[in-house]
Structure 1
Amino acid sequence: MLNNLYKWVLSLANRPTAPAWLAFIAFVESSIFLVPADALLLPMLLARPERSYRYALIATVASVAGGIAGWALGYFAYDAIAKPILGFYGKLAEFEHLKASVNGWWIMLMMTTSGIAHLPPIKLVTILSGVVHLSLPIFIALATVTRGARFFLLAYLLRRFGERVGLFIERRLNQIAVLVLVMAIFVFLVSRCTIR
């Protein structure tokens, strides 16, 4: 099912309505959807490199707006709406464990790693941020910086290096994500030790 969904998202890149689909998928990815916006953004960037930064901006704005929707789900409607969504994806137990074991610092770290590398999935972190009542302005700032960094970096790399880097990113996305996660955790731990 996920493979078919991924192929459907890829097929949207060739349509004239691709920017609207990109906005929609980036929005729902940040709150309830499984397929990352990158699945549509990458082929769009390769097809129209002159529009790279425009597409990155669309993805960033829509992703942050979707993140706010996820935050609101967690903050205002966790039991009524968010729990059934998490249960549908089989993520409820993982989410409940996270909810019981996080504090503000861990939420900010997860926002960073999730925004940049999808670890953990962005929808979990946006809902969790609302559940633990992370300040909305801090949430918006973190989401804007991390999601913007991801999408604009992809836009820059594909505009600068073209299809070769696109294929490399698509093949090695998991390894790149793990490397970014390790670096983010290292920076986080160093900053915590320095603050003390």
Structure 2
Amino acid sequence: MKIFTKMYDACLRWARHKYAVYILGFVSFIESIFFPIPTAVMLAPMALARPNRALWLAFVAMATSVLGGVVAYIIGAFAFQSWVYPWIVELGYGDTYNRAYQWFLEYGVWVVLVAGFSPVPYKIFTLTAGAMSMAFVPFLVASIIARSAQFFLIGGLVKWGGEQMEHKLRQYVEWIGWGVLILGVLAYIIYNLVN
């Protein structure tokens, strides 16, 4: 049974929808605030479906993600204790928040740069930055750099690989899907054993 191939084909069909770019922007925006699914999950198949627009799609994802990060920063600054922290604990991100908080204390703005590629959800960093009253301009600059790096890397690889990459990826998507799933489970187990 080819689970990941079916999912991949479905993502490519959705990516060709006439409103796909608006959906990408919306998902990218809310992912920076509360949405649990990473933007890259939608950006990659959209860029594969339209390699000639891959960099434009990366820009849309980056811009809307940073705007969502600004909204999350404001929410964190004004409603963290009353609304955000209880919600973080309810969703099971309490330990993740505490880790992000410690990283902010140790590394400051550099944490936001790392957040673009970290396994810790970006939304935790945006909300925490607001709650800790981090200087807004460095937060904004770091967010733009981090999100640009992630999304333009995806868009650039797809543009470079083009249609050929789409066919190769489809050919190996089952192996990649199961491999990522197994690595994720192993990382989770190792992380829990270490902490």
> Which TM-score tier does this pair reach, normalised by the shorter chain?
0.7 to 0.9
Quote the offset at 1:173 in angstroms.
6.9
- Structure 1: state its 5+ residue gaps: 1-6, 176-196
SS across alignment from 1:142: helix
| Amino acid paired to 2:157 | L
Residue deviations 1:42-66 (CA, integer Å, cap 9, x gap): 1110000111111011001000001
CA distance in 1, matches of 2:114, 2:180: 14
1:32, 1:85 within 8 Å by CA — same for their partners in 2? no
Quote the offset at 1:164 in angstroms.
3.6
| Amino acid paired to 2:151 | F
TM-score, with length taken from structure 1? 0.74
Aligned partner of 1:17 in structure 2 is 19
The answer to whether structure 1 residue 90 and structure 2 residue 98 are counterparts is no
Mapping for residues 35-54 of structure 1, pairs under 5 Å: 35-54=37-56
Quote the offset at 1:17 in angstroms.
0.7
| Amino acid paired to 1:57 | F
| Amino acid paired to 2:119 | L
* Residue-pair matches, total: 166
Aligned partner of 2:188 in structure 1 is none
- Structure 2: state its 5+ residue gaps: 1-6, 184-195
Structure of greater Rg: 2
Q: Over the residues paired in the alignment, what is the CA RMSD in angstroms?
A: 2.7
1:110, 1:119 within 8 Å by CA — same for their partners in 2? no
CA distance in 2, matches of 1:173, 1:133: 36
1:12, 1:21 within 8 Å by CA — same for their partners in 2? no
Choose from 61, 69, 72 the match for 2:63.
61
Quote the offset at 1:161 in angstroms.
1.5
Residue identity (%): 25
Mapping for residues 1-196 of structure 1, pairs under 5 Å: 10=11, 12-96=14-98, 98-99=100-101, 101-103=102-104, 106-115=107-116, 117-162=117-162, 164=165, 167=169
CA distance in 2, matches of 1:104, 1:135: 13
Residue deviations 1:101-127 (CA, integer Å, cap 9, x gap): 344552423211211x13321011111
CA distance in 1, matches of 2:36, 2:118: 11
Greater relative contact order structure (CA < 8 Å, 6+ sep): 2
| Amino acid paired to 2:96 | E
CA distance in 1, matches of 2:154, 2:87: 29
